[in-house]
Structure formats: structure tokens, C-alpha cells
Amino acid sequence: MAAPNRGRRPAGAQGKPGRALALILIAMVALTGGMFWAGQLTPRLGIDLAGGTTITLEAKNQPGQENAVNETNMNTAVGIIERRVNGLGVSEAEVQTQGNSHIIVNIPKGTNSEQAREQVGTTAQLFFRPVLTVAAGGPAAPEPSPSASTSGAPKDDKDKETATPPSGTPSPSATTQGRAVTEGLKAPAASPSPSASTSGSPKASESPAPGESPAPTPSADPATAALEKQFTALDCTDDKARGKLGDNVKPTEPSVACGKNSAGQWEKYILGPAEVNGKDVDDAKGQLDQQRGMWIVTMDFTEAGAKKFQKITSRLSQQQPPMNQFAIVLDGEVVSAPQVNQTLSASAEITGSFDQESAQNLGNILSYGALPLSFEEDSVTTVTAALGGEQLKAGLIAGAIGLALVVIYLVVYYRGLSLIALLSLGVSAILTYTIMTLLGPAIGFALNLPAVCGAIVAIGITADSFIVYFERIRDEIREGRTLRPAVERAWPRARRTVLVSDFVSFLAAAVLFVVTVGKVQGFAFTLGLTTLLDVVVVFFFTKPVMTLLARRKFFASGHPWSGLDPKRLGAKPPLRRSRRTTAPTTDPKEA
């Protein structure tokens, strides 16, 4: 501490090592504090370390749809798979796209992986069902008679709405307005025919659901009564209740279902038996109608599908709202419920308040049956936590030994200087650990084995920067400079080398991260992160500490154990003239 007054002080930021050190200290404290604040003291462990099941799915192009594997479709698929996996009651299950054509499903330990696999692997069910009743999503109060809920009259619906708890705000009219309606809406409204049975549907579909009859007949059929009871009790805002809905629903029977309206609120439905299924849709896409300047979804049906669709639309178009709607049901959830105003057959257009995304999503859902893509199970990995833990332990032991070897080498070779290297490595370790921990909740980063490996390998990268700098300082000393000018003169050049080579390292990591899948990505991410941190540590810690320590007599005098002994380094005895001339001029500043 006595030393600082001697010798010249470099100009600019270089001369304020305290500031940089304070900055990095604040960053460390903030990160550690953030860690405690977030209540997350260890990094989130990947499935390979915590145990669980990882299923990797690969999207396959189907014949005739070569461009099906694209971002939109992958995202739609992720949404569907996520809904399914979490429908199992699995918490924390992750479904992510990896690369362009893979979906990784991570199911943590403690869940039925067998069931999960089945769910993930099977194609979702898509049906078109006639809407019998719509109501706001909350559980209905018990008062309304079952007949009210099954009545097709809008008046009754309003009654019902008042009976629903305040949570379910949307009124049926809002529902149908915001919802997609067929092009036929503009056509003169079909004459309201309150009786569903007159639609002449040859299907037996309606008979099991007499409740849909507009006549307020108390339902005699026990199945219908059960359905009504279920409907009344259903609370669509409850995730668990919703998750159970899709189970054991037979397409040939009426069912209750939930769906979100365009305002994003839950609504519940009683739906008739499925009349058209997803396979009957030949193609569908969301597109911009140039003339009207709005997003619409167009559907083309297969031959068989067209017949079925004609039937359902001709019948529904005769109905009063809300029974003039059909619901597009995906995995038990109503995706959309457009109104029908005229008979349609081979192709149809759904209009409504779509934006590009929602139109394309619906188009995707319709045209691919369910999952927008067909998937192949690429690999299924079950890892017991014990094994993952063992691997982690081995990795950490290896890392510790590797680190110890590095430390020994640095101490032997750089002696006193190694202190700075070790401190820097320590700072780097703290930063890496805290950031990794915080990235768990922030972006879902999970530390997996390759990532651990990446972190261990990064020890080398980080140490490399110090070596570059130390060697530069030693070169300056060999030139005959004393330590403090040597430290400052070595810096700009070491800095450039470190930046240039770290950039290359980072580029490699970034490219790896962008183009690769799964495990490789974790590795690349860690590598990239540590490379960035290396730059931060060298700039804000190593250099300032070096500047500070250069003022200590131990280092400045070139103590044999400082690692900077000019004699040992083979410095040329005659000191440079330039130093001797500059020194006196800058001295007064200090005094």
C-alpha cells in the first residue's frame, strides 16, 4: 500500500483499477443476491443429471408436403405435445424444438414415462362436432334447469349466463361474434328452424342426445343427464379438470369440452357426436384474403369428407344459434367453433377475427389432422438419477483434478503471478455458477453432462487469456522495463490477442449452438458463456488486479517468487532510455 506513490501512473481507465474491481464485485454480489432472491441456489439440472425420460422426436416430411417441416408447424406441434404431456399431470415437463426438425420432450423423474411416451407418440384426435350448447367456462350454479342448458334458444343462453359465476364473463353472443364464422354469414340468414331433428340427418348421432332438442324436455335419458351434470359442474378455468376431459371420450357419443374464445376466455360446450374427423380434411391453410384484407382459413375436404361436411353444414345452417356452430375439437379441446350459415361441401372458408398467426395455426391444425407433422421417435432415454448423479460426480471429480493440475502448473511456472490467475479463475467460476443458476428459471437452461464437460474444458480457455497477458508482461520486462510500465504496455497487445482469439472461440460456440441439437447445444452454450465471461473477467478483474499488484513491492521489485524476476526472465541490463526520460515528467503528478 505504500508503493502506489512511486513511479508514474498510467492515464485513463487503466489508472482506475478500483473502479473496475468495484464493478465486478457489485456484479458478483448482485448475481449471488439474485440467486438467493430467486430461491435457486443450484443450477437446474438436466434430465441426465436429475433423472427422467427424454424423448426425441424427429419430424418427417410426408409425401406431397415437402415443406411441411417449418418453424410454424414445429411450434404448433410443440404446443400440442406440451398440452398432451402436461395433461398427464406432469409438472415441469418440457417440450422444446431443437434445431429445425427435432422436438425434445423432457419428462422428469417420477412420472409414468410409459404413458408419456404413448401420449407423445400417438397422433392427436381431431373432430368436427356439432355444438349443442355453449356457456361461459366456469362451473354453472346448480339452479338452472338442465333444459335451459340444452335449449337452443339464445334467450335461454342469456339466462344461463347470468347464472354463471362472475369468473365466466363472455356471453354467447360475444362468443359467436368473435369466433370464426363462415363466409355464408353474409348470405341471407337461413330460416330459423328450432328443431334439430328436422335437419334430416340420417345419422343416429342425434338420438343419443335428446337434450339438444329445443323443447325444454327434462332429459329422461340417463346418459344425457350425466352429460348435463358434467357440463354444469365443469370448470374450464381449472387446468386439471380440462386435462381429464379428453380421456375416454368416444367420438360417436356427445361430450362436453372446453375451448377459448377469441377474447381468450374459456367457454364450455356440449358437443354432439363427431361427424367429420381430421382425416377428412384434405388441406387447409390460413391465408390473407386480398380483396377483403383479412385473414381467413380455407379448408378443402376429401371426397368422403365433403359429403359428411355437406351433411353437417346443411343441417346446422338451419339451426338457431348457438346450435348452428360446429366445433373443431382437437384432443378434447375446442379449437374453434365457427357458425354455419349455408350448406357447404368440398371446400369452405372460415372467416373471423383472425390474425396471421391464428389463421395459420388453425390451418395447420386442420390440415394435418392434429400434429402438423408426423413424428418419428428418434431416441428415448431413461436415466436414473443415481447414474446421472454418478456421472456428475465423476465429471466434477475430473474437473477438480484437472483444475488442481492447472493450479499446480500455474504456481510452478508463474509463481506469484499465479495468485492473480487463481483469483481470476475463482471469479470466473463464481460468475459462471451464478449465471447458470439464474438462467435456469430465466430461460430454462439446464446443466447437463455435456454442459459440465464444456465448463471443465473452459478452464483451459480462461487460463489461456492470463497466460497471454503474463507472457506479454514478461516480454516487456525482458525489454528492460520495470513492472508497472510493463503491465500497462503489455495490456493493449494482450487485450487484442485475447479479444481476437476469444472471438474465434465464441464464433465456434455460436455456430455449434445454432446448428446443432440437444446435447451438443448444452455444450455449445456453456462454451459460449464461459468465453464471454472470460473476456469480462480479464478486462474487469485480471487487468485491474494486475495493476494493483504491480504497485506492491513484492511484485514490483521482481522478488524471485513473484514470477517477475527480471534476472530470471533474462531482462537485458540496460534499461530503455524512453522509460528513464518519461518517468520524471510524470512523477510530479503523483506527488
Residues 83-142 that bind other proteins (CB under 8 A): 99, 101-102, 117
Nearest residue (CB) to other proteins, 207 versus 381: 381
Nearest residue (CB) to other proteins, 102 versus 308: 102
8 near other proteins, rule: CB under 8 A: no
300 near other proteins, rule: CB under 8 A: no
Binding residues for other proteins, total number by CB under 8 A: 83
CB-CB neighbours of 591 under 10 Å: 5
Shortest distance (Å) from residue 418 CB to other proteins: 11
In this structure, are residues 341 and 317 in contact, taking their beta carbons and an 8 Å threshold? Answer: yes
Residue given cell 383472425 in the structure block:
354
220 near other proteins, rule: CB under 8 A: no
Crossing angle of the two packed helices 17-37 and 417-443, in degrees rounded to 10:
40
In this structure, are residues 178 and 146 in contact, taking their beta carbons and an 8 Å threshold? Answer: no
Q: Where are the beta strands (DSSP E) in 109-162?
A: 126-136
Q: Rule CB under 8 A: which of 354-413 touch other proteins?
A: 376-384, 386-387, 390-391, 394-395, 397-399, 401-403, 405-406, 409-410, 412-413
Shortest distance (Å) from residue 500 CB to other proteins: 5
Residue given cell 492473480 in the structure block:
420
Residues 533, 543: Cα–Cα separation, whole Å: 14
Q: Rule CB under 8 A: which of 30-59 touch other proteins?
A: 56, 58
Nearest residue (CB) to other proteins, 317 versus 465: 465
C-alpha 571: how far from its chain's center? 57
Shortest distance (Å) from residue 503 CB to other proteins: 7
Q: Which long-range contacts (CB under 8 A, 24 or more apart) does 207-210 make?
A: 208/253, 208/254, 208/273, 209/132, 209/254, 209/270, 209/272, 209/273
CB-CB neighbours of 423 under 10 Å: 15
Give the cell for residue 190. 337461413
Shortest distance (Å) from residue 493 CB to other proteins: 7
Query: Judged by CB under 8 A, which stretch of 195-203, 256-264, 508-516, 550-558 contacts other proteins?
Result: 508-516
Shortest distance (Å) from residue 64 CB to other proteins: 21
If we measure between CA atoms, which residue out of 453, 394, 374, 414 comes closest to residue 563? Answer: 414
Residues 344, 316: Cα–Cα separation, whole Å: 10
215 near other proteins, rule: CB under 8 A: no
Residues 22, 249: Cα–Cα separation, whole Å: 63
User: Of 23, 457, 532, 536, which one interacts with other proteins (CB under 8 A)?
Assistant: 457
If we measure between CA atoms, which residue out of 163, 201, 177 comes closest to residue 322? Answer: 177
Q: Residue 322, preceding bond cis, omega within 30 degrees? A: yes
C-alpha 191: how far from its chain's center? 49
Nearest residue (CB) to other proteins, 37 versus 503: 503
Shortest distance (Å) from residue 525 CB to other proteins: 12
Q: Rule CB under 8 A: which of 475-494 touch other proteins?
A: 475, 478-479, 489, 493
Shortest distance (Å) from residue 497 CB to other proteins: 5
Q: Rule CB under 8 A: which of 225-264 touch other proteins?
A: none
In this structure, are residues 128 and 328 in contact, taking their beta carbons and an 8 Å threshold? Answer: yes
Shortest distance (Å) from residue 336 CB to other proteins: 34
Query: Judged by CB under 8 A, which stretch of 126-134, 202-210, 259-267, 511-519 contacts other proteins?
Result: 511-519
Q: Where are the beta strands (DSSP E) in 158-280?
A: 181-182, 255-260, 266-271, 276-277
Nearest residue (CB) to other proteins, 308 versus 489: 489
In this structure, are residues 46 and 108 in contact, taking their beta carbons and an 8 Å threshold? Answer: no
Nearest residue (CB) to other proteins, 67 versus 581: 581
Query: Judged by CB under 8 A, which stretch of 237-245, 300-308, 363-371, 520-528 contacts other proteins?
Result: 520-528
Strand partners, 56: 104, 379
Shortest distance (Å) from residue 67 CB to other proteins: 19
Residues 309, 253: Cα–Cα separation, whole Å: 18
Show the binding pattern over residues 425-454: x = contacts other proteins (CB under 8 A), - = does not.
------------------------xx--xx
474 near other proteins, rule: CB under 8 A: yes
Shortest distance (Å) from residue 580 CB to other proteins: 13
Shortest distance (Å) from residue 425 CB to other proteins: 11
Query: What is the sign of the dihedral through the CA atoms of 406, 412, 413 and 418?
Result: positive
| Residue 199 vs residues 195, 394, 429, 558: alpha-carbon distances, Å | 8, 71, 73, 101
Q: Rule CB under 8 A: which of 9-28 touch other proteins?
A: none
Shortest distance (Å) from residue 508 CB to other proteins: 3
Nearest residue (CB) to other proteins, 186 versus 572: 572
246 three-class SS: coil
User: Of 464, 532, 579, 583, which one interacts with other proteins (CB under 8 A)?
Assistant: 464
Show the binding pattern over residues 533-572: x = contacts other proteins (CB under 8 A), - = does not.
-----------------------------------xxxxx
Query: Judged by CB under 8 A, which stretch of 27-35, 233-241, 513-521, 549-557 contacts other proteins?
Result: 513-521
